[in-house]
Chain A
Amino acid sequence: MSSITADVTRSEGARSTARVPFTATLASEWTKLVTVRSTWITLALAAVLSVGATALLSWITGWSWREWSEADRARFNPIELSFVGTMVSTILFVVLGVSIVASEYASGMMRLTLTVTPRRGRIVLAKAVIITVVTMVAGLIISIATFEVSQMILGAYDLPTARLGDSDAFRAVVLGVAVTGPVYPLIGVALAFYFRSTALAITTVLALIFLPSMVGALLPRRWQEDVLAWLPGQAADSVAIGHLYPDDPMYLHPFVGLVVAVAWVAGALVAATIVLNRRDA
């Protein structure tokens, strides 16, 4: 047959097969992210909606200030206003984290991804790293923008304002967002691998974000402190804004909060890797 040609032109397996480095997987996932329009739409939406929501709330605050009671005014903290924006952008970052995984299942392209990179832990880790970087950078820009916009509007109404240089504001607006912003999006990445469905993964993360505060209010205070405080979102909040509520036992010590939040994320991603390794693609 053609065994002669085979021997002459080619010897299988004797070719360059240096191990593909992890940075290759990282570069590839980055290319995937930036070459689809939905990424940019989601990020733009996150920016517009979060700045818009904060601006609206700031304007309402300034406009209605005259009707505020003394007690309400005393409780008012100008830093809190920009949290509304952070919440909005977090939800859109969750959408981004879920979609970089689930959209590959929807189109069937995950099989191609896993054929090109059969080490599945790598895919999980690469997508997690990309989402961490993007949500941190975009989250910081949006957080600072919402903060400055809200302080500007409050200032225009001669209301108390905070400055980014203040340690309380810096911890909440810069450090807190950088450290805790990726928590929910990363859980979204893990759940999307697990469910292989955009709707299911997003719904679960949203439940994780909103159910504790809704159900929690109905539970005895002890339960709230013993259980709810240890959930990923609450633990992350302990790092970002716990210092604004020093007497609230619902917030863990910031370092404990950090460890708990990281443990949740790491646990979810490890579980996703185990499932991915065992399951047929």
Chain B
Amino acid sequence: MITARGLTKRYGDTLAVDHLSFDITPGIVTGFLGPNGSGKSTTIRMILGLDIPTAGTVTVNGRVYRDLPAPMREVGALLDATAIQGGRTARQHLRWIAQAAGLPKGRVDEVLDTVGLTDAADKQVGGFSLGMAQRLGIATALLGDPGVLIFDEPVNGLDPEGILWFRTLMRRLAGEGRTIFVSSHLMSEMQEMADHVLVIGRGRLIADATINDVTGRGSGNAVRVVSPRLPDLVPFLESAGAAIQPERDGGVLVTGMDAARIGELAAMHRIPLHELSPRRASLETAFMELTRDSVEYQANGNEPDIGNIAQASAGQKEPTHV
């Protein structure tokens, strides 16, 4: 359980995190979404006691992180997986962490096995690929077998197989009743992985809801309809308040009306339907709508589109306050 109340962080004139309040509950995967520079990493650093909040509090299992008697047994975290010294082997790296956390030696080999790094255990981590470094970082988080796990951009650098593996691991860990908090700027990834999402933009909480609520709330929800007698059906739908958008293959996208109502109308007028399929807005679309006003690095004040955000991700790094 992670609890934030009025959590605020100010760096000079920049309000990086602005009165965040949330509860991250056990047993589910909670996604932490936001464009780059929206305050995700700052929030995570405050949870871990690395940065000191300007105002407000954040606790893990009811305690401020710095007051936890054995932090690694309660919280496992992956921050920047590549921020490690390259001269040690994976086993040596995990050994100093296990020692500092007061954990038994045997845990090192166990977590190496869990993340599939057993064969690379005695290789220097400086030679690791980004994907291997991520796996080592995940191993670090799992070392203390903690009830709370925090991952900052965990799938960066993982190959598709690695992403699938990570997703399965998250599900399993959540199924064991752990609290899982995963940040990402990749919305599609969240859709596959998270049960619940916190969306932030410019440090402010924009949404705190289940994945279904977020995707259902967007205006993009539509139903695809294909019928040999579409010209007959469309006027009935329009007069019932639906909006019609023709599609290239001859079908239409109906918005403002659910599939059941469309089906009933068609049946009432004895119009055959060849296709009637609800299209849920992707989290991507919902996210764009939610954060439209709070994208930090917008190009020329134009409406942000996927291109803008991708550009922002590539060109701008989140401010790091060392």
Contacts and interface: CB of A to CB of B under 8 A. Distances in A.
Interface of A: 1-3, 5-13, 15-21, 24-25, 27-29, 31-32, 35-38, 103-105, 107-109, 111-119, 196, 278, 280-281
15 contacts: A2-B28, A5-B27, A10-B178, A13-B74, A15-B73, A15-B147, A35-B95, A37-B87, A107-B84, A108-B84, A112-B97, A116-B97, A116-B101, A119-B66, A280-B321
B61 A35 contact: no
B68 interface: yes
Nearest to B148: A12
Nearest to B178: A10
Given A5-B27, A118-B49, A280-B321, A28 B99 contact: yes
A19 B70 contact: yes
Contacts of A105: 322
Nearest to B27: A6
Interface in B233-283: none
B80 interface: yes
Interface stretch (B169-177, B221-229, B292-300, B307-315): B169-177
Nearest to B50: A281
Contacts of A27: 99-100
Contacts of B51: 280-281
Q: Give the residue among A8, A13, A25, A115 with the most B Cβ atoms within 10 A.
A: A115
Contacts of B48: 115, 118
Contacts of B89: 35
Contact of A280 (B52, B74, B97, B100): B52
Contacts of B165: none
A29 B140 CA distance: 17
Nearest to A120: B66
Q: How large is the interface on B (under 10, 10 to 19, 20 to 34, 35 or more residues)?
A: 35 or more
Given A24-B100, A35-B87, A280 B45 contact: yes
Nearest to A24: B102
A3 B27 contact: yes
A109 B92 CA distance: 14
Nearest to A119: B66
A17 B67 CA distance: 12
Nearest to A1: B28
Contact of A38 (B52, B87, B147, B195): B87
Q: Give the residue among B68, B99, B174, B195 with the most A Cβ atoms within 10 A.
A: B99
A19 B71 CA distance: 9
A2 B73 contact: no
Contacts of B12: none
A114 B51 CA distance: 11
A18 B96 CA distance: 19
Contact of B50 (A7, A13, A107, A115): A115
A22 to B, nearest CB: 10
Nearest to A18: B70
Contact of B83 (A2, A37, A107, A116): A107
B106 interface: no
B175 A5 contact: yes
Contact of B96 (A2, A11, A28, A103): A28
A24 B87 contact: no
B294 to A, nearest CB: 23
Contacts of A31: 92, 95-96, 99
B207 interface: no
Contact of A115 (B71, B82, B84): B71
Q: Shortest 4 CB-CB distances between A and B: which pairs? A: A108-B83, A10-B177, A6-B27, A28-B100
